[in-house]
Amino acid sequence: MTESWVLGFAKEAIELTLLLSAPMLGFGLVTGVMVSIFQAVTSIQEMTLTFIPKIVMVFLALLLFLPWLLQSLLSFTTRIFHQIPYIIG
């Protein structure tokens, strides 16, 4: 196991983490902006109005992207398991 392999592995793991979290964060961000605009227009400052729509949209994004998320994670894990003999020896 070399230093370059460890750095490459860490880089790939961080990129995969960001890529897998992006859909949920994007849906939450768009929903948050829409709720904020709605609150500014109507002058409603209810705290639950900000959290519940975001939670629902993040959950829906998770359901929508779950097959892709699992496939990406499974592919990464499989590559790592196949590299174990080369890492040890």
pLDDT tens digit sequence for 34-62: 999 998 899 888 888 889 999 999 999 99
- Helix, strand, or coil here: 26? helix
d(CA 11, CA 20): 14
Q: Is the pTM of this model over 0.95?
A: no
- Helix segments in the chain, DSSP class H: 3-42, 48-88
- 13 falls in which pLDDT band (50, 70, 90)? very high
pLDDT at 30 over 80: yes
The CA-to-CA distance between both ends of the chain, in Å, stands at: 8
pLDDT at 89 over 90: no
d(CA 15, CA 3): 18
Looking at residues 55-70, what average pLDDT do you find? 96
Put residue 43 in one of left, alpha, beta given phi > 0 → left and psi -120 to 50 → alpha: left
